[in-house]
Structure 1
Amino acid sequence: MKKILLSGATGMVGRKLSRKLYERGYQVEVLVRHKKEKTDFKSYLWDYKARFLEADALDNTYIFIHLAGATISKRWTDSYKKEIYSSRVDSAQFIFDEMKNHQIHPEAFISASASGYYGQVTSEHIFTETDKPGKDFLGTVCEAWEKKAFQFKELGSRVVCIRTATVLSGKGGALETLRKPIDMGLGAPLGTGKQYFPWIHEDDLVNIYLKAVEDASMEGSYNASAPEYINNEVFTKKLAAHLGKTIFLPNIPQLFIKAILGEMSLLALQGSRLSSEKIEKAGFNFAYKTLDSALADVL
């Protein structure tokens, strides 16, 4: 069996992807920070900050999937912004150094990235993979993240970066946070409500990763965002409707959100559309093309 080694495999997407890879006949192994982390697969300890990797972890790695990264849904203090950056960028550099030192040459290195690559802005532009990275915090993080991934070309590896929109899942993730005020009867659009809300169903995201594993023609960066474009106001009202609730409160003012969330408020108040054309032209078919179909499934 071909060995696929994953970082971040205990996260929401990582757990589902690991299981699906196993069901397709791959030898799945994972990197964990603590042995107490629950996993169904053989695990190895790693600590990129301490430059530690358990012996034999990289042996016979066919493909490495890099999903590790601290959540961005936590207040962005200066120290935590460093953690967001380091958990993605420095960890990828560590894996590259270890593979180079041990002469490991995987067929592919597949890395998570994010829709934040283009910057947290609201515009009428539809971002494609050829657009330049944003100059804000998330744009800078994603640009550095992908640069570390593309280093693996030096090892002869095919490199794929998945620029992921907000993932909709029935178990945890962003949707759990987004539905709370609606469940309490306090839901309302954020700011102007006109900021776009790129999203993807977790099953579609997992299947994009599977395609990246099995389709040797996939190389480079790909947007992972559903083809339907909606804004925050539409999303809020559709989510409320699926929950059997009614939105009656006025929009929540931007100043209030900024006061509560600080710099992280950009995640709520800004957003642009992402083109799904490249991944669709590569032969990927979204199972959930509309928000209504996605919400009907995950809720």
Structure 2
Amino acid sequence: MKPSLRKVLISGGRGLIGMRLSEMLIDAGYEVAHLSRQTSYGHYCSFRWDPTTGQIDEAAIGYADFVVNLAGASVSEGKWTDERKQDIMASRVGGTNLLARELREKPHRVKAFISASAIGVYGDADARLLTEDAPPAPADDFLAEVATQWERAAQQVQALGVRTVVARIGVVLSDEGGALPTIARPVKLGAGVVLGSGRQYMSWIHIDDLCRLLIQMMEEPEWQGTYNAVSPNPVTNREFTETLAEALHRPLVLPKVPEFGLKLVMGEMSEIVLASQRVSAQKIEQQGFQFEYPELRGALASFYQKEEE
């Protein structure tokens, strides 16, 4: 990596992944700036943008040697009303379209565009092992359609001749936010349960492994195209819940929460926890990525052992 290529522009920099990625990039000697709807915050340089109106600071793209595109409204906060679903879609596709427009129309020196997607693109696939070649789920699957449109928007950047990498991200494990604290809360209270049948697969990744992967994708020109960003050891919901209870030294409560009960409470959003996605990490391992946390037990211990010390 040339010393001069040190400036990284991140959309979604205030999110769970974006904040940890920013910390790791700073530690590695990079300069980091965020795209934000606010003018400034914290100790990061920020450029203002608003994907809903197509507005962006004129200087943003000119700043960057690399762009990491993570922006997107949370899929797990609030029920999926029509308005909420529109926001989930527009925040991802609109933001990516806006970045593609800037890269097309403005002078820049961007060497790589790393864009998030999600393993939701595969839909509910039962126990079938999913490689990057698996077709996306039909358009009537909302999360699959979001991911498909998101990736299609990123392909505009590839068409411009900018090296583009799409990371289909699994369930990100962090004790700072995301799915894990929500799942762990009832387990800590001794009320942990298996969700649905418990046989549905969860393809997960430790947040530090994900950020190391995104940096490797950014730095190494061999990375191009679409990759699954998951650990090499997906687990069933039952296995996940049992391993989490063990890490927290708590019992599990039976019976399971039935599928119809989850759908009653969560509505369409229940597909987040009920869909089964057993996703392969073979491609990123063959590309040379090495996991620090390949096994769920070690990943959970990294968060919860320190609580006991």
**TM superposition shift of 1:60:** 4.0
Q: Residue 160 of structure 1 is aligned with which of 165, 173, 177?
A: 165
Shift of 1:39: 3.4
Q: Which residue of 2 aligns with 1:46?
A: 49
CA apart distance, 1:22? 2.1
Spell out structure 1 runs of 4+ moving beyond 3 A: none
Residue aligning to 2:72: 69
CA apart distance, 1:122: 4.1
Paired amino acid for 1:142: A
* Matching residue's letter, 1:61: A
Task: Tell me the SS of whatever aligns to 1:59.
Answer: helix
Whether the 8 Å CA contact 2:168–2:228 is kept in 1: the answer is yes
Partners of 2:63 and 2:259 in 1: CA distance? 51
Q: In 1, are the aligned partners of 2:168 and 2:229 still within 8 Å (CA)?
A: yes
Range moving further from structure 2, 91-100 or 53-62 = 53-62
Partner of 2:121: 117
- Which residue in 2 is equivalent to 1:173? 178
**Structure 1 partner of 2:307:** none
- Tell me the equivalent position of 1:274: 279
For 1:274 and 1:59, the matched residues in 2 are separated by: 37
For 1:122 and 1:102, locate their aligned partners in 2 and report how far apart those are by CA, in whole Å. Answer: 41
- RMSD between aligned alpha carbons? 1.3
The equivalent position to 1:19 in structure 2, one of 23, 40, 54, is 23
- Indicate if the aligned counterparts of 1:10 and 1:39 stay in contact, CA closer than 8 A: no
Residue 187 of structure 1 aligns to a residue whose secondary structure is coil
- Kept in 2, the 8 Å contact 1:85–1:141? The answer is yes
Q: Distance in 1 between matches of 2:136 and 2:43?
A: 37
Which amino acid letter does the alignment assign opposite residue 110 of structure 1? I
Q: Which residue of 1 aligns with 2:252?
A: 247
Distance 1:217 1:15 in 2: 26
Q: Percent of aligned positions with the same letter in both sequences?
A: 38
Query: Secondary structure of the residue that 2:95 maps to in structure 1?
Result: helix
Task: List aligned pairs for 1:72-111, cutoff 5 A.
Answer: 72-74=75-77, 75-104=79-108, 106-111=110-115
Q: Quote the offset at 1:229 in angstroms.
A: 2.5
Match of 2:13 in 1: 9
1:199 aligns with 2:232: no
Alpha-carbon distance between aligned partners in 1 of 2:175 and 2:221, rounded to the nearest angstrom: 31
1:109: Cα distance to partner? 0.8
User: Quick check: 2:127–2:201 contact (8 Å CA) kept in 1?
Assistant: no
Of the three residues 283, 289, 294, the one matched with 2:294 is 289
Query: Which deviates the most, 149-158 or 96-105?
Result: 96-105
Which range is displaced more, 289-298 or 90-99? 90-99
Whether the 8 Å contact between 1:122 and 1:195 is mirrored in structure 2 is no
Contact 1:105 1:157 in 2 (8 A): no
Name the residue aligned to 2:268: 263
CA distance in structure 2 between the aligned counterparts of 1:154 and 1:242, rounded to whole angstroms: 46
Aligned equivalents of 2:253 and 2:27: distance in 1? 46
15-24 or 277-286: which moved more? 15-24
For 1:248 and 1:46, how far apart are their aligned partners in 2?
A: 46
CA displacement at 1:26 relative to structure 2 = 2.1
Q: Note the residue ranges of structure 2 that are not aligned, 5 or more in a row.
A: 305-309
1:124 Cα deviation (Å)?
2.2
Q: Does 1:30 align with 2:34?
A: yes
TM-score, length-normalised on structure 1? 0.96
Task: State how many pairs are aligned.
Answer: 297
* Corresponding position of 2:150: 145
C-alpha spacing 1:188/1:122, structure 2 compared with 1 (3 Å)? farther
Separation in structure 2 between the aligned mates of residue 194 and residue 122 of structure 1, nearest angstrom: 12
Candidates 132, 137, 146, aligned match of 1:134: 137
Separation of aligned partners in 1, 2:71 and 2:127: 32
The answer on whether the counterparts of 1:165 and 1:199 sit within 8 Å (CA) in structure 2 is yes
Q: Distance in 1 between matches of 2:189 and 2:125?
A: 28
Between the aligned partners of 2:295 and 2:122, the Cα distance in structure 1 is 23
SS at match of 1:286: coil
